[in-house]
Amino acid sequence: MPGGQDMLQAGQWSCVAGVTLSADTLSVSAPASGYNTVIDTTGPVLQAQGDFSVLATLSDPGTTGSFLTMVGTLNTGSLFWTGLKRLDVGLSNNGIVANYWTGSSANPTSQAYSLPPGASDPINLEVARIGSQIVVFVNGSQAGSFADPGLFASGQVYFGFNVAPGNTLNVLALAAAMPAGSNVSLSTSDLQVAHRTGSGLRDLAAGSGLLIGAAADAPYFTDPNYVQKLGGEYNLIVPENDLKFAETEPALNQFSFCAADQLLSFAQANSMKMRGHNLVWAQNLPSWITGGKYSSGQTYSILQDHINAVVGHYKGKLVDWDVVNEALSNSAPYGLDQTSYWYTQLGGSYLDTAFQLAHAADPNAKLFYNDYGGEGLGGKSDAIYALVQGMIGRGVPINGVGLEMHLTLQGAPGASDISANMARLGALGLEVHVSEMDVRLAVGANGSASAADLASQAALYQSVLSACVANSNCTAFLTWGFTDLYSWIPSSFPGFGAGLLFDQQYNPKPAYTSVSAALRPAGAAAQPVINPDGIVIHAGVSAAVSPGSLADIYGTNLASAQATAPGAPLPTMLGNVQVMVNGTLAPLYYVSASQVDFQIPYSVAPGPALVRVTSNGIAGGSAGITVQQAAPSILTYVDGSGSTRAVAQNQDYTINSSTSCAAPGSYLTVYLMGSGPLNNAILSGAAAPASPLSQETLSTTATLGTTQGITQGTTQGTTQANVAFAGMAPGFVGLMQLDLQAPNLSGDFPLQIQVGTFVSNQALLCVGK
C-alpha cells in the first residue's frame, strides 16, 4: 500500500494484556464470561489531522462480535465511557457493525451494514475518515458510512480490539494509509519528554548528587500531568510493580519486559536513572511457581534462570537492584521469615545465592537488600544490620540497604534514629536508599486529609530527607508514587491516603515544599538575577545569536563558586548552575557569581527566546534574546594602532596583521561565532569533529572592501574572496571557521562575511602588501 505504515510489528502489542503476537498474527481472546476489550495506549498512535484510513485484515472463526477499536480520546472518568471517543468496527451476526461512543453514555450509537457478496474469512476491513464522514469498506467496496461526530478530533488514534465472549480474533494485518497531501504520521511509541522548569526536586538535588526518585507505572504515561511531574521533578524511576516476579516471568521461562522497558525508555528520554525492584520476594509470585510443587533443585534453577534473564536483560541499564525484598519476619525476634516460599524451598542460603547470581549477571549494578520497619533503631533494624553484616563477612556482593519508609504519623521513627541507622550501615561500607517513602494519613471519603495532618506529614518528610542529606552514604530518596491520584495506600490501608508529595490534582502539598526546602543547600538561597541587557552575544558584536553559538550572561548570585568546564562535551550543570534556553538545558563552560558562559543549544528554533539561570535549584527571572538562523561575527583583536582586525591565520601560520599579510592566492583561516544550521549535526555541548567536517549549509561569501571601495586601477568596489571551507572549527565548541583564498589585492581591507542573508561585522584583513 503506498504511504502505508505497518502497525502490527511496529507497535508495542506484546505489552497489552490478553494479546499475543506471533510472527505475523496478533491474537486476542475473550473468556467465555465476557467481552475482552484491549486498547494499546503505548503505541502505535496515529497522529491524524486530516483524512486517514486504517486497514485491518481480520480472521474471526467465531463470526460474532469481533471489532477493530479506534479511540480518539481515552475515558476521562471512573466509568469506562466518561469522555470516551471510540469507534468499533467489525463483524457481528454475519454483517458489519460500527459502534461509536461520544463520551456521554454507556450505550454506543450503532450502524449495521451488509457484507459484500462472496465475502469470506478473512475479511479486509478499511475504516476511513474522509472529510466529515467515516466510511467503511469491506474487501475494497464501500459497506456504508456515517457522519463523523468528531471521534478523532483529538488528532490522535489509539488502537485496540474488542472480542466477543469465547472468541479469538486473529489480526493478520493492521496498517494506516496516508493519502498524498494529508497530514498523517505514525509514532510507534508515545514516548513523552517532560518540560524541565529548572527548579524541580531533581534540580535542587543535582548539586549534591542525591538521586530523587519515585515509583512509577507505565500505563499512566497517557496522563500528561503524570509525565510532566515525573520527568520534571525526579531523576530516578523505580517500577512500582513491573519488575516483580509475576510480571517479568508470567509463565515458566517466559519473560516479559514490556512494561518495564517502557519505563526505562521514559527514564532515558528524560535523563533519569532507573532502579530495579525486585528479584526475590515472598510476595507477587506467580501461581505457576507457588503451586508448582517443584523440588528444591528445580526451585534453585528457576531462581537462577530468573535472575539471569531479568538482570541480564537490563545489564548496564539499571543503576541498582533490590535483590532480596522483605526477607525478615516483622515481629521479634525478627529472624528470616521461614514461611517465605524461598525459605521453605531453599533454606536461608537463598539470600547469598541471589546476590551472587545478580552480581554475576550485571557486575556494575549496585545490589540492595530492601525492607520495611527497620528504618530507625530497634529490633528489626538490628536484624537487618546483622543480616547484611553477615553477608559482607561472607564476601557476598552487597552494596546497600533500602529503607522503605512507609510511615504513619504516630509510628514514625525519630530522625536521629534514622540518621544513626544510616550511619552504622555506612560504617559497614554500605549505601542506603530511602526506597519507598510515603506517609499515610487518615482521609475522608474524597481522599483528603486535615490541614494539621498535612503539616505534620510535611515535617516528617523533611526530617527523613534531612537525615538522608546528612549522611553521605544515603544516595537516593524515593517516594512510592508521587501523586495521591495513584497510590497503593487507599487499597492497601482502607481509610488512609494522601501519602505523597502531590495531591490528586497534582498540586504540590506542604510536604513538597518541605522536601524542596530540605534539598536546598544552606546559605545558597539567593535568587540568581540577570542584569538588564546582561546577555552578551559575540562580545557585543551581534544583536542576534544563532544555535550553537557561545554567549555570556552577566548578573548577580549566579553561582556560589567559580567553575570552569573540564572540556568538551560541555556539561549542562556546572557549579550548581543550569541555564535554560526556551526550556532546553544549555551546555556551560564557565560560571561564577557574576558571569555564566553558555552555548545556545542547537535545538533552539529561530525567534525570540527566553534565557533563565537556575542556581542551587533556585530559578531566576528570564531574559530575552533573539535567535537567528545564522548570526556571523568575525572574531577580532585590536592592534597597536587601535585598528580592529580579524583574527586570521595566514597560510604560513602567522597571524594576519598590518605587517604580516596574506599573499595573493594563498589560503588563510578566519574564525567567527554564529554558525547556522549544519549538515553534519553536532550535539549541543560537543566539539565539532575533524571528520566528517561540519559544513555550513547556507551559502557563505567573503567580501573585502566597503562602500568606500577598493581602488584597483580605476575601478572602485568590493572583491569577493573564494571560500574554500565554511563550517564548524574541528575540535572546538561553537566556533565557526572560514578558509579563504586571498584575492589579488594589496593593502588592509575591511572583511565582511555573509552567511545566507545574514551579514557579519567588519574587521581589517591584510592581503598582498
Query: For residues 436 and 453, which CB has a smaller minimum distance to ligand XIL in the complex?
Result: 436
Query: Where are the strands (E) in 517-653, listed by range?
Result: 529-537, 550-556, 563-564, 577-581, 584-585, 588-591, 595-599, 607-615, 618-627, 633-634, 636-638, 644-646, 648-649
488 in contact with ligand XIL (CB under 6 A) = yes
Q: Provide, rounded to whole angstroms, the least separation between the CB of residue 187 and ligand XIL.
A: 29
* Contact with ligand XIL (CB under 6 A) among 320, 404, 696, 739: 404
- Our finding on whether 320 is near ligand XIL (CB under 6 A) is no
Identify the residue among 27, 222, 241, 622 touching ligand XIL (CB under 6 A).
241
CB of 353 to ligand XIL, least distance (A): 20
Instruction: List Cβ neighbours of 581 (8 Å cut-off, separation of 6 or more).
Output: 598, 600, 601, 604, 609, 610, 611, 625, 627
240 flagged as catalytic: no
Closest approach of ligand XIL to the CB of residue 191, in Å:
24
To ligand XIL, the closest distance from the beta carbon of 497 in angstroms equals 13
| Main-chain phi, psi angles of 651, to 5 degrees | -60, -30
Nearer to ligand XIL by C-beta: 378 or 490? Answer: 490
What is the contact mask toward ligand XIL in residues 429 to 468, using x (rule: CB under 6 A)?
Answer: -------x--------------------------------
Nearest-CA neighbor of 535 among 522, 549, 524? 549
The closest alpha carbon to 623, from 565, 552, 572, belongs to 552
Pair type for strands 133-138 and 141-147: antiparallel
Work out whether 325 is an interface residue with ligand XIL (CB under 6 A).
Answer: yes
Closer by beta carbon to ligand XIL, 13 or else 372: 372
C-alpha cell belonging to residue 309: 534473564
Could you tell me how far CA 2 lies from the centroid of its own chain? 33
Q: Find the helix packing angle between 296-313 and 350-361, rounded to 10°.
A: 30
In 3D space, the residue among 608, 656, 688, 684 whose CA is nearest the CA of residue 763 turns out to be: 656
Count of residues that bind ligand XIL according to CB under 6 A: 6
Q: Based on CB atoms, which residue is closest to ligand XIL, 84 or 324?
A: 324
295 Cβ contact partners less than 8 Å away, ≥ 6 residues apart: none
Q: How far is the CB of 238 from ligand XIL (least distance, A)?
A: 9
Nearer to ligand XIL, 217 or 382 (CB): 217
SS3 content of the chain, % helix, strand, coil (to 5): 20, 40, 45
Given the complex with ligand XIL, which of 246 and 568 has the nearer CB atom? 246
CB of 436 to ligand XIL, least distance (A): 6
To the query of whether residue 436 is one of the catalytic residues in this protein, the response is: yes
Least Å distance, CB 299 to ligand XIL, is 21
CA distance 35 to 463: 50
Residue number with the smallest Cβ distance to ligand XIL: 488
CB 686 within 8 A of CB 731: no
Question: Is 330 a residue that touches ligand XIL (CB under 6 A)?
Answer: no
Instruction: From the candidates 247, 249, 326, 404, give the one annotated as an active-site residue.
Output: 326
Mask of contacts with ligand XIL, 150-189, x by CB under 6 A? Answer: ----------------------------------------
Nearer to ligand XIL, 220 or 488 (CB): 488
Beta bridge partners of 759: 754
Interaction of residue 484 with ligand XIL, rule CB under 6 A: no
Give phi and psi for 266, each to the nearest 5. Answer: -60, -45
Query: Using CB under 6 A, which residues numbered 44 to 63 contact ligand XIL?
Result: none
Counting Cβ atoms within 10 Å, is residue 699 exposed (0-12), middle (13-18) or buried (19+)?
exposed
Residue 742 gets which letter from DSSP? P
240 binds ligand XIL (CB under 6 A): yes
Compute the C-alpha angle 328/334/336, nearest 5°. Answer: 40
Tell me how far, at minimum, the Cβ of 185 lies from ligand XIL, in Å: 35
Count of alpha carbons within 13 Å of 314, Cβ hemisphere only? 34
Decide whether 327 or 646 has the Cβ nearer to ligand XIL: 327
- Residues noted as catalytic: 326, 436
Binding residues vs ligand XIL (CB under 6 A):
240-241, 325, 404, 436, 488
